[in-house]
Every structure is written in C-alpha cells, then in structure tokens.
Chains A and B, each alone.
Chain A
Amino acid sequence: MSAMLRLFAHDLKLQLRLGSDLIAPVAFFVLATLLVPLGVGPEPNLLTRLAPGMIWVTALLATLLALDRLFQRDFEDGTLDLLALAPLPLEAIVLAKVAAHWVTTGLPLLIAAPVLGLMLRLDHGSYVTLEVSLLLGTPVLSMVGAFGAAVTLGARRGGALLALLVLPLYVPILIFATSAIGAAGEGLSPRPHLLLLASFFVAGLVLVPFAAAAALRNALE
C-alpha cells in the first residue's frame, strides 16, 4: 500500500511539473464548450437544452486528449520495464497511475464545469447533479482510457486507434450522465442514473487494473 502511495505521489509530482499537461485538457474543455453558444446562437432555451450534453461530450474529448501520456512516456524511457519489475503488482501500478491521471485531468474538469454551466444557462436545479455525475463519471473515463492506452501501447498511430477503441466504451457513461442531469433539470430524481454511473465506477475499479495490467505485460514482452 505504501509503495502504491509513493507511486501515486511520484506520478502526481511529475505531471504537476509539466504544467502544459495539466492545463491542456481543461483549456480544451472550456474553449470547446464556449464555442457552442457562438455556433448555435445565444438563445437561452436552446442552450439550456444543449448544456448537459455539450459539457459531457467535451469532457469525454478532453479526457481522451490526455490519455496517451498515461503509459506512453514511461514506456518510451524504460520506466515501465522497471515498474513492471518493482515489488508491487502491475495491477496496483495501474491503479496508482490512473488515480494520479484523474487528479490532473478529471478533477480540473469538475472545478471548471459549474462555470461552463453558468455560461450555457444550465438549469439551476442541475448543478449538484452535474457535479455528482462528473465525480462518478470522470474516474470511469480515466479507467476505461487506461485500458485503451495499455492495449494500444507500442502500436504505430496509437492515438487514432485509442480514440476508436475508447470512445464507443464511453457511450454508456455519456448517456447515463446526461440523463441524470436532464432528469434533475425537469424536477425528476436523478438517482437511478447516478446509481448506474456508480455501478460503472465500481465495475471499472475491479476490472480495469487486471485488464490493463495484462495488456501492459503483453506490450513489454
């Protein structure tokens, strides 16, 4: 456990020192969402209807933007070889790296989202649900993305392949997250949708470390 925390702190430190890594996904998230009112016009009702979907679609793409750095650099400079041989299981390494990745990509999205909601005239009743859906959903994006990044590691043109592999897997998260926000906007309970998101989170937590570790072992051989 302490080795896992060490790796998490180490990865976090590395990503925080590369400031551009930290800023790029959240800057993309904000700018891409801000383009929507410019494109479709400032009509309030239309924006309110579009807001949950737009915020979530750009959140998906912003996460995708940061995925290739999850294992790629460590793979190229030999660090991944050493981590695979370190005294903690590769599954624990995957989990520590995903956690560090989420803190530097998912968490900033969580912080920026309410501001974007304001600009897109999100329903007043939907903010809490928006934040809860992001809190449950973005870690799943990081986990599923880690699996995709591990599978495409070492492939030529891995980036395009990664998007093709991962985006379809993101669909259920997108559907239930936006349904939750929509339900809250109409005064209905978002609870069932959020519970489904929570179940994705738990399933990811259990399955992804094993699947990603197996893919990494294959890439290193």
Chain B
Amino acid sequence: MTGLVGIRLSCRRSERVVFTRLDFSIESGGALLLSGPNGSGKSSLLRLIAGLIKPFTGHLEYEGTRLQDDPARHREIIAYLGHQDAVKSMLTVGESTRFWAGLYDHPSDAHAAMAAMGLSDLADTPGRFLSSGQRRRAALARVIAGGTPVWLLDEPTVGLDAKSIAALESALAAHRMRGGIVLAATHAPIALPGAAELNLAEFEPQGFLDDADAA
C-alpha cells in the first residue's frame, strides 16, 4: 500500500476519548480535508499523525512502514503547521526559514520556499515586525522548505489575504504534483482538487471503548 494509512485510530486526551475507530488512507499525491465541529478532534488527529500524541489504539503506516516502529522515518516525512507560527521575534524571516530548511538538510530550498509564499521582500525583516498574516506565511514557508512528503496543516489560512491563499493553493498543488500528501483541517474554503473529506463528527465515541478497540 503506497501513501499514508491510518488504521483503527483512537485518541484519548486525559480522561476524554476524542475519536474512535478512525480509518483513512491517502495515496501519494492525494489530499484529505478534515471537517467537523469545534472540539471534534481535528487538531488532535493532526498532532497524532505528526507523532506528538501517541494513538490510544491503532497505528499509522507510510509506504508500508509502521511509523510507530520507526520514529526516525516518522520524523523525516512529516511537516506540521500548528495553531502557533513559531516565528521568533529576534530572527529575520530569511534566518528562520534557512534554519528550518537546514535542519531538514535542504538549506538551498529556503529561498524558493520564501518566494512561493511571497516573502522574498521580507527576508531581512525581523519576526517582531511581521503582521499575523505574514507570520502565518513565514510558518508555511517553513513547511515548504522542509521538503518532507507529508504536510499536516492545522487551519493554514488563518490571517491570510486572498492573494496569499492563492499562493498557498498553488504551493499545495505543486507539492501534490511531486507525489506529496496534504492533510488540512480548515473551516475556510480552500481549493484542494480531488481531495477526500473526513468528517470527524462520525467518529465520536459511542459509550465506552470496548476491549475490541484496545486489541
């Protein structure tokens, strides 16, 4: 099986079960749009796929590899955009993007990534002078610069203007053309042609988890 697969995933945050028995599969080049009301677990699912939360049950596979068994591989394939932009006020956009690109061993991709999000003119601007939309774009440039195949985007369009949303859409299309995978949780309309949709509300737990789930 190629692409990214999640099998019988459930997620528990302290005492609360957020979702249960969730399956998904995305072919390489595919996209999955997460929907569902607030609190239905979209962010939790993205953090779980990223590897920040351990699944309570179930597992993830990428290109046939069980990711829980190979954490180094897991870290190599994921780029995660959370609610926070992780933009440092004391560093310029160029310095931050080059740092993250360097951590993923693609230092030369930083320039193209900034250009893709329309940040070329802001490369020498320190983070503290950026507007919230510009900070979001810097965070997206960081995702692009990593050069990883799986992008997990939590509300990627927050604070973006129409032009930046268009830039994001073409970056997503280019990523999928190269065989990349996109998972996005968003309430705003965003063009992801051919994307499957996953409604988290369907996986709300009914009563208690039974033993079959834990097996």
Contacts and interface: CB of A to CB of B under 8 A. Distances in A.
B62 interface: no
B53 interface: yes
Contacts of B78: 85
A79 B88 contact: yes
B50 A85 contact: yes
A220 B75 contact: no
A78 B103 contact: no
Interface string A90-110: 000000000000000000000
Nearest to B142: A82
A3 B105 contact: yes
Interface string B41-57: 00000000011111000
Nearest to B126: A17
A218 to B, nearest CB: 11
B86 A82 contact: yes
A10 B95 CA distance: 9
B121 to A, nearest CB: 22
B100 interface: yes
B82 A3 contact: no
Scoring A2, A17, A82, A220 by chain B CB atoms within 10 A of each residue's CB, the highest score goes to A82
A78 B85 contact: yes
A18 B90 contact: yes
B52 A84 contact: yes
Interface in A131-177: none
Give the dominant DSSP class at A's interface: helix
Contacts, number: 64
A32 interface: no
A221 B52 contact: yes
B102 A6 contact: yes
Contacts of B72: 87, 89
Scoring B50, B75, B87 by chain A CB atoms within 10 A of each residue's CB, the highest score goes to B75
Nearest to B79: A85
A34 interface: no
B69 interface: no
A188 B90 CA distance: 49
A17 B76 CA distance: 30
Given A78-B83, A85-B50, A3 B90 contact: no
Contacts of B83: 78
B203 interface: no
Contacts of A203: none
B54 A221 contact: yes
A86 B104 contact: yes
B7 interface: no
A85 B52 contact: yes
Nearest to A16: B90
Interface in A1-40: 2-3, 6-7, 10, 13-14, 17-18
Interface in A36-72: none
A7 B50 CA distance: 21
Nearest to B76: A87
B90 A6 contact: no
Given A6-B99, A17-B90, A77-B86, A85 B80 contact: yes
B203 to A, nearest CB: 20
Nearest to B83: A78
Given A6-B99, A88-B103, A221-B53, 10 more contacts: A7-B103, A14-B90, A79-B86, A81-B52, A81-B86, A82-B80, A85-B50, A85-B75, A87-B72, A87-B76
Interface of A: 2-3, 6-7, 10, 13-14, 17-18, 77-79, 81-82, 84-89, 220-221
7 contacts: A6-B102, A6-B103, A10-B99, A82-B142, A85-B50, A85-B79, A87-B76
